[in-house]
Amino acid sequence: MFRSPRTPRGVGRPRATRAVSAVLGLALAAGLSACANDPVAQQYLDGDSKGYIGSAGLRVDEITPDERKDPVDFGGTLDSGEAFDSTEVAGDVVVVNFWYATCGPCRVEAADLESVWQEFADQDVSFVGVNTYDQADTARSFAEKYGVTYPSIIDVNTGDAKLAFAQATTIQATPTTLVLDKQGRVAARIVGQLEEPSILSTLIKDALAETA
């Protein structure tokens, strides 16, 4: 398994998630008071929809196993200068976060992403960032300032990592966070700033609980 100099475990591995569970509904309840009258948010809580739109424009989508597309093979050069390939984290649930340093929501959610990473660092879960705009020195400075310990692919020069996901999901907004199942398929997508760490934690737990 891949090991980064900043990472206690390997980069994240993709994992599939099931339709929103009652547990996720409870975890989100506290954060949904501002959109209690939003029918999409209410459908999410009721389990009638895979989509949830949060108070700040956050959107969470889960993809059932039978609707998932092919596994995504991706890689690139990390901010450490090392080469990374997704085969190095095959079999894990992988969290992939698309970001860049001057993105305000990326700064705000950095601590929450790190806290979730630490929560699952001793399990079969890997995290990897994909920086779509900055060079390695800027990405490293961001990581040091905001306490991010998982590595990031520097994708600005080639766009290869972002392109690799194009067949499975559209990456149009930043930040976007994907959860890949154990087969490497996109199982969940969070578009916008993560409002509560529990949202991502529950998606990961769902993915871990799935049988391959």
Burial category of 6 from C-beta neighbours within 10 Å (exposed 0-12, middle 13-18, buried 19 and up):
middle
Query: Is residue 55 over pLDDT 60?
Result: no
Report the percentage of the chain scoring pLDDT > 90: 68
Structure tokens at 94: 């992988």
pLDDT score for 51: 54
Among 47-51, 160-164, 190-194, 195-199, the range scoring the smallest mean pLDDT is 47-51
Q: pLDDT tens digit string along 188-207?
A: 999 999 989 999 999 999 99
pLDDT score for 170: 84
How far apart (Å, rounded) are the C-alpha atoms in residues 75 and 5?
Answer: 17
Instruction: Label residue 13 by pLDDT band (50, 70, 90).
Output: very low
Among 25-29, 122-126, 176-180, the range scoring the smallest mean pLDDT is 25-29
Structure tokens at 110: 């950095």
Query: Is residue 38 over pLDDT 50?
Result: no
Among 34-43, 61-70, 128-137, 147-156, the range scoring the smallest mean pLDDT is 34-43
Query: Is residue 10 over pLDDT 50?
Result: no
Alpha helices, DSSP H, located in 18-154? 22-29, 39-46, 104-120, 136-146
Which helix (H) or strand (E) element contains residue 161? helix 160-164
Instruction: Label residue 141 by pLDDT band (50, 70, 90).
Output: very high
- Strands in 39-88 per DSSP E: 51-53, 59-62, 75-77, 83-85
Q: Where are the domains of the chain?
A: 59-209
Query: Is residue 70 over pLDDT 50?
Result: yes
Q: Name the DSSP class of 78.
A: B
Structure tokens at 199: 């949202």
pLDDT score for 14: 35
Report which residue type is found at 31. Answer: G
Instruction: Label residue 172 by pLDDT band (50, 70, 90).
Output: confident
pLDDT score for 54: 52
Report which residue type is found at 120. Answer: F
For residue 201, the tally of other CB atoms under 10 A from its CB is: 18
- Strands in 51-198 per DSSP E: 51-53, 59-62, 75-77, 83-85, 93-99, 125-131, 152-154, 176-180, 186-191
Please name the CATH architecture into which domain 59-209 falls.
Answer: 3-Layer(aba) Sandwich (3.40)
Q: pLDDT tens digit string along 76-107?
A: 999 999 999 999 999 999 999 999 999 999 99
Pairing outcome for strands 93-99 and 125-131: parallel
> Sign of the C-alpha dihedral, residues 152, 157, 159, 161?
negative
